[in-house]
Amino acid sequence: MSADGTHQVDAELGTERIDPERYTSKEALKAELEHVFGRAWLMACPLAYLRSPGDAYPIQIGQEPIVIVHSDDGEIRAFYNVCRHRGRQIVTRPRNIKSLFCWFHGFEWNLNGSVKNIPDREDFGNYTNDEDLVLPSIQCEIWGGFAWINMDPEAPPLKEFLGEVLPEFERYKLEEYDLVEETIVEWDCNWKIGADAFQEGYHGPITHPQLQFVLEDSPDMQIDLFELHNRGIYIMGAPCKRLSDDERREANPILRAIAESEGVNPDDYVGKLDEMRLAIQEARRANLSARGCDVSKLTDDQMTDDHHYFIFPNITVNTFADKFSVFRYMPDPLDPAKMVFWVQQFERRGPNEEPAPLPEITYGKGREFKFDNEVYNQDANNVPWVQQGVYSKSFKGMLFNHQERRLRHFYHVLDQYLDGRR
């Protein structure tokens, strides 16, 4: 901070406004799909979708249909999910399969991608061979309870890509959490407008006023900018220090629910909610430990706080000791003004507890869709209005302040991918 109290806004990350065309142009979208989504590691799916041999999970990344398959030899592999005959998509929904079978004319592959059967093979003469007909594979790695994919055959290993985030995630043991809820909603905005909305806390007091009574949203919150990814730490479990003593006296309904879920009685902490936060931490550690969950690597603050990661290019992970959520910002393959907001919620499972069954997926569209969690509705309400604004000739581009430096960093990394420095 300088003498006059202003922040010298992270100049090494650039100070330019972000060009509005980046949210509206088809060329920009095409370049992002090719140079960013075509080259970065992407989270494909939780392993709950790939438990048994034959389990197959299709996912579309831009214009690329991909399928992840648990092969007979136990390996989890990823292929382009496109028939080598006339291009039909092969697996169209998550399911267990005996082989990769195309339902148009019956081309068939083994679960390792080798050719199994081509009907009337002789009718193709000798102008094609097995090598030409094998399903092309892409890089696939398993880590943290997820399958990850990368369409770039030259990409470095996933662990290198995750970098500084890896040891932090390892403390949580993400693979010990179960997928319990999944929601997929189409939003009328560019995928980056979605990603941006979840990389800063500056909008908290206005967009989510109720959260001030549950977390610290001061401009000084800890922010870490890693090589590719970034993190913000939301101190949770007590009202924001900016509120008056009177406002910080009693727990609001959200904070009450957090305390009560750990067996802490909020009525015992009227006028001393900071102490209640410590009581919640202690109770949560005791409750998790009693279920056999190993939380020994997590600090007391991690018992309450949201360690809020952005994994480049399109994932948010809100990590907690007892649960975490993943938000994915999926670009539309063709329309820069559309994206899919994909939410998965996970809960910690004790070693002696049964794995949760796969949840039903809830689908929705735009602002009309109502999440159970009001916070998401508040975010969903902003994003299409932002998209409307970026078309205006009056709009000069996105402006970011010091509190929004995670965004500056995101565009900095994005540009490195787009101009070939990564």
Residue 279 site contact among ligand FES, Fe ion, none (CB < 5 to 8 Å, cut-off depends on kind): none
**Please, what is the minimum distance in Å from the beta carbon of residue 108 to ligand FES?**
9
Q: Considering the complex, state which of residue 67 and residue 215 has its C-beta at the smaller distance from ligand FES.
A: 67
Contact predicate 83/106, CB 8 Å: no
State which residue, 213 or 417, has the beta carbon closest to Fe ion: 213
Candidate residues 188, 217, 306, 379; the one interacting with Fe ion per rule CB under 5 A: 379
188 touching Fe ion, by CB under 5 A: no
Q: Site mask, Fe ion, residues 334-373, x = CB under 5 A?
A: ----------------------------------------
Please give the helix or strand (H or E) that residue 167 lies within, else none. helix 165-172
Q: Could you say which of ligand FES, Fe ion, none residue 379 binds, taking C-beta under 5 to 8 angstroms by partner kind?
A: Fe ion
Q: Which is nearer to ligand FES, 118 or 211 (CB)?
A: 118
How far apart CA 128 and CA 133 sit, in angstroms, is 7
Distance CA 66, CA 60 (A): 6
Binding site for ligand FES (CB under 6 A): 83, 85-86, 88, 102, 104-107
Sole window of 91-99, 158-166, 173-181, 377-385 interacting with Fe ion (rule: CB under 5 A): 377-385
240 binds, among Fe ion, ligand FES, none (CB under 5 to 8 A by kind): none
φ/ψ of residue 101, rounded to 5: -120, 130
**Residue 338 CB partners (closer than 8 Å, separation 6+):** 186, 187, 188, 189, 332
Q: Which long-range contacts (CB under 8 A, 24 or more apart) does 201-206 make?
A: 201/232, 201/234, 201/403, 202/401, 202/403, 202/404, 203/382
Stretch that binds Fe ion, among 40-48, 237-245, 350-358, 374-382 (CB under 5 A): 374-382
Q: Is 32 in the site for Fe ion (CB under 5 A)?
A: no
**Closer residue to ligand FES, CB minimum distance, 44 or 102:** 102
Core vs surface per residue 332-364: b (16+ CB within 10 A) or e? beeebbbbbbbbbbbebbeeeeeeeeeeeeeeb
Report the chain's terminal Cα–Cα distance, integer Å.
Answer: 31
Determine, following the binding rule CB under 5 A, whether residue 196 of this chain makes contact with Fe ion.
no
Site for Fe ion, rule CB under 5 A = 379
